Every structure is written in C-alpha cells, then in structure tokens.
Amino acid sequence: QKEVEQNSGPLSVPEGAIASLNCTYSDRGSQSFFWYRQYSGKSPELIMFIYSNGDKEDGRFTAQLNKASQYVSLLIRDSQPSDSATYLCASYSGGGADGLTFGKGTHLIIQP
Amino acid sequence: DTAVSQTPKYLVTQMGNDKSIKCEQNLGHDTMYWYKQDSKKFLKIMFSYNNKELIINETVPNRFSPKSPDKAHLNLHINSLELGDSAVYFCASSLGTGWTQPQHFGDGTRLSIL
C-alpha cells in the first residue's frame, strides 16, 4: 500500500527563519513528488515538484529528494507570516492517469 | 481566469438524496480527477479520467458515478447520500498522464449531509 507520512505539526517557526518540512514515502516505485500549500478552506496550490535526487530551488523554496532514504523535504527560506498554511506532500507512482498519494499535511505557523 | 472550476461551492442536503457536482477546466488538459478530503483533512484520490475514459476507481462505492462528456468536463453524481459522504470534494486536472505532470485543483465543493 502506498503511503506518504508527514508530521502533522503544528510546526512553529519565527518570521525570517528557515522552515523545514519533511515527508517519507513507502512506495519505492514512486517517481515524482509534489508539494502543495493549502490555506484553511481553500484548494491545494502547487508549490513545486521534484523527481531527481538532490535539490531543486524556486525562489524561497527548495525541495530535496533522497530516493535511497525515501525522503522528501521542503525548505522555506526567509519565512513570512503569509507562509502559514498546511503543506501537503504527495507522491506519484505512475501507471497511467494515476492519482497522487497525499500525506496528511504539516500545519506550519510563522510567528511574526 | 478560472482554470479548474467546480459548482456548487457548497452543497447541503439530506441523507438519501441524489446530488451532482460539476467540474470544468479551461487549461486544455487531457486528464481529470476527483479527490475527497475528509474532516481530518486527508486528501484521497477517487477517480481519474484520461481523454474521457475512466482510468482509476479507488474502491469508491458505486453510489458515486463520474461522467465525462468531453475532455474539459468531469462531473460527479452521488446517489443515496450517506452521512459519511460529508467532505470537501476537489476536482483536479493535469496536462497528461505521467510523473512530470502536476495536477491543478479546483476550489472544492463542501458537501454536508444532514
């Protein structure tokens, strides 16, 4: 069974610091990984995705993937109060129009 | 410019009723999905369609019937609604199948069963 695990939090980070969000997955066949941000009562919004081992940077966000350890992370530099949200990690295992397998999300709070 | 739009946004109805949720995307995507997010915020795939053909049905009760009249639309009809169907239902779409194709979500339909 495919599973994606995240610490539900809340994770509290001071404004301006680096927020580090972590995710592990069970299916070694997972090919790509997605980070979504979801504000309360809103839809998931794609932040970035990664499918190669290593780091991928986009503005203040860096995704990190380690397939050997089955571990994905998202770093948010210079955290802002507007970054406060639930961050959902998702994996894609392929095989056609497969849906994403989501973790339960980490609730991030950026303290001003 | 709404990319993935769902209607209605809110749906309140009684147990045993039949209801439909509509989804449309104007992104030119080939693949569309329905997800259910329960009260614990856990988001789970229900169905996916690729070019109007059903690809996934993740052990969803047959009271739920998706219909895709064309690539841009994927509607969800639910018969004999039950209390456990209360959730937020999200429609999503992607350019195609494959591991490099991110999925884009609609704003969700909050279904409440009385």
Tens of pLDDT along A18-49? Answer: 999 999 999 888 889 999 999 998 999 999 99
Q: Beta B43-50 vs A106-111: how paired, if at all?
A: unpaired
pLDDT at A96: 52
d(CA B51, CA B35): 18
pLDDT at A95: 58
Q: How many helices (H) and strands (E) does chain B have?
A: 0, 11
Q: Nearest residue on chain B to A47, judged by CA atoms?
A: B102
Using CA atoms, how far residue A71 sits from A4, A68, B16, B78, in Å, is: 10, 8, 43, 37
- C-beta atoms of A102 and B43 within 8 A: yes
For the ranges A20-29, A97-106, B36-45, the lowest mean pLDDT is seen at A97-106
| Average pLDDT over every residue of B36-53 | 86
pLDDT for B4 beyond 70:
yes
d(CA B69, CA B23): 11
Distance from CA of A9 to the nearest CA of B (A): 13
Of B49, B102, B108, nearest to A34 by CB-CB distance is B102
- Percent of chain A exceeding pLDDT 90 equals 81
Residue with tokens 């571990």: A71
pLDDT at A2: 76
Q: Are A11 and A74 in contact (CB under 8 A)?
A: no
Distance from CA of A33 to the nearest CA of B (A): 8
pLDDT at A100: 85
Q: Beta B10-13 vs B109-113: how paired, if at all?
A: parallel
Q: How confident is the model at residue B50 (pLDDT cuts 50, 70, 90)?
A: confident
Q: Nearest residue on chain A to B52, judged by CA atoms?
A: A97
pLDDT at A34: 94
pLDDT at B100: 75
Give the largest CA-CA distance in chain B: 41
Residue with more model confidence, B42 or A111: A111
Interface probe, candidates A27, A31, A98, chain B, greatest B C-beta count within 10 A: A98
**pLDDT one-digit tens code per residue, B51-65:** 778 877 777 888 999
CB proximity list for B77: less than 8 A, separation 6 or greater:
B18, B19, B20, B64, B65, B66, B67
Q: Are A36 and A87 in contact (CB under 8 A)?
A: yes
* Phi, psi (deg, nearest 5) at residue B31: -120, 135
Mapping DSSP to helix (H, G, I), strand (E, B) and coil, where does residue A94 land? coil
**pLDDT one-digit tens code per residue, B60-101:** 888 999 999 998 999 999 999 999 999 999 999 998 776 677
**pLDDT one-digit tens code per residue, A83-100:** 999 999 999 876 555 678
pLDDT at A71: 96
d(CA A39, CA A46): 12
pLDDT for B32 beyond 70:
yes
Reference A66, options A81, A57, A55; nearest CA is A55
Interface of B with A (CB under 8 A): 31, 33, 35, 40-46, 48-50, 55-56, 58, 90, 97-100, 102-108
Q: Are B8 and B108 in contact (CB under 8 A)?
A: no
Interface probe, candidates B41, B52, B58, B94, chain A, greatest A C-beta count within 10 A: B41
